[in-house]
Structure 1
């Protein structure tokens, strides 16, 4: 009798990493432009962080977070209840799409057409001001994390980061490219359609050496999204 292949959902992962998107930030709520790293959580975002603290692993192997304060403040309630300090990771911060100096004083509605125009142009090497990254640099940063850091992270590591960063990780895990205008535009459509609300929780499961599966923790996300 020919054996029946195991269902992918039943494969016991070699390792599981937990990725958390930060709670709602002032920028998510349409607030006035601030430096990328300094954007704080809203009051709702702080409640998202409190809810997440009860949903994450009770004994993480490591806790890593972005250098941006919204990710660090999302990690804070979880780390405080465990009595530990998260380690700031230099590759986990969000895509610095626009130089804040170019959009100073603008709110979310005013920023939207500028952001839309950037993605519509789809130039991976265009830099929108001195304090911004190119899309190519952003992609290289996420790829570097996949190549250099993911293989060494212990089972049970918790990562606090950002939505577009996680979207690009998913895109690269699927095998898509980032080098051309078409690929950049397609990524943007993919990223906007990926369920990644504030406080989202995903699991990165290594099914065999170097082969990863990304799964949403839907029940945890429902709990966080229900916070008011």
Structure 2
């Protein structure tokens, strides 16, 4: 049965409250790099493959594992964060600065709404979640997947609830994203079979309390 380890990136500059530019270039903090090293230490044998999103913070989190097992194949997949705010309108802002825009997006609850150039609709996001599960399911062996909080929550929701219409998926996800904690560098194991999928707990016990962040 294929095993997929779903890993959220380490603490990023945005998570730490810093002003950032484009979503795909947000780097890890020093704490984030330390968290990434702890993630790598959790692997006692090499996975069959390492997969990470095209966003810098996911690639940086995967780097210690890639260095530990340099012969393991790596791949970049579209498992990046759900970017529902138009990036150009929020250059140089902090997460707190974006709070009102985030609230307004989720109050709107329109799966086809697109905020502007460079933003995804919820339909786009949900299609990526579905595509990821279809693509990963037939792969033999274990996969280490470095992704992002909202994308990983989308995967969890899809596995737990099964197929959903996009309007229902968005309604459920609006609550799910707030209810399910997925700290930086936390991980979840997903076992897939032809008939079923099995989810483990979201784990962050590999990090001491002083290194936990969201």
Q: By the TM > 0.5 criterion, same fold? A: yes
Partner of 2:108: 121
Higher Cα radius of gyration: 1
CA contact (8 A) 1:139 1:178 kept: no
3-state SS of 2:146 partner? strand
Unpaired runs of at least 5, structure 1: 1-13
Partner of 1:226: 209
Q: What is the rounded CA distance, in whole Å, between the counterparts of 1:84 and 1:131 in structure 2?
A: 35
Partner of 1:108: 95
CA shift at 1:154, angstroms? 2.0
Partner of 2:122: 135
Structure 1 segments, 4+ long, off by >4 Å, are none
CA shift at 1:43, angstroms? 0.9
Q: What is the rounded CA distance, in whole Å, between the counterparts of 1:225 and 1:101 in structure 2?
A: 37
Partner of 1:47: 34
> Structure 1 length as normaliser, TM-score?
0.85
State how 1:14-163 maps to structure 2 within 5 Å. 14-84=1-71, 87-147=74-134, 149-163=135-149
Partner of 1:211: 196
Partner of 2:172: 186
How many pairs are equivalent? 210
Q: What is the rounded CA distance, in whole Å, between the counterparts of 1:227 and 1:158 in structure 2?
A: 25
Q: What is the rounded CA distance, in whole Å, between the counterparts of 1:193 and 1:57 in structure 2?
A: 31
Alpha-carbon distance change, 212 to 165 in structure 1, aligned in 2, over 3 angstroms: same
Q: What is the rounded CA distance, in whole Å, between the counterparts of 2:130 and 2:33 in structure 1?
A: 30
CA shift at 1:225, angstroms? 5.2
The CA RMSD measured in Å over matched residues stands at: 1.8
Q: What is the rounded CA distance, in whole Å, between the counterparts of 1:98 and 1:137 in structure 2?
A: 13
CA shift at 1:86, angstroms? 5.6
Q: Which moved more, 1:50-59 or 1:208-217?
A: 208-217
3-state SS of 2:155 partner? helix
CA shift at 1:125, angstroms? 0.8
Alpha-carbon distance change, 88 to 72 in structure 1, aligned in 2, over 3 angstroms: same
**Does residue 186 of structure 2 align to residue 200 of structure 1?**
yes
Q: What is the rounded CA distance, in whole Å, between the counterparts of 2:72 and 2:19 in structure 1?
A: 30
CA shift at 1:89, angstroms? 2.7
CA shift at 1:34, angstroms? 1.5
Q: What is the rounded CA distance, in whole Å, between the counterparts of 2:73 and 2:61 in structure 1?
A: 11
Q: What is the rounded CA distance, in whole Å, between the counterparts of 2:166 and 2:138 in structure 1?
A: 27
CA contact (8 A) 2:114 2:121 kept: yes
> Structure 2 length as normaliser, TM-score?
0.91
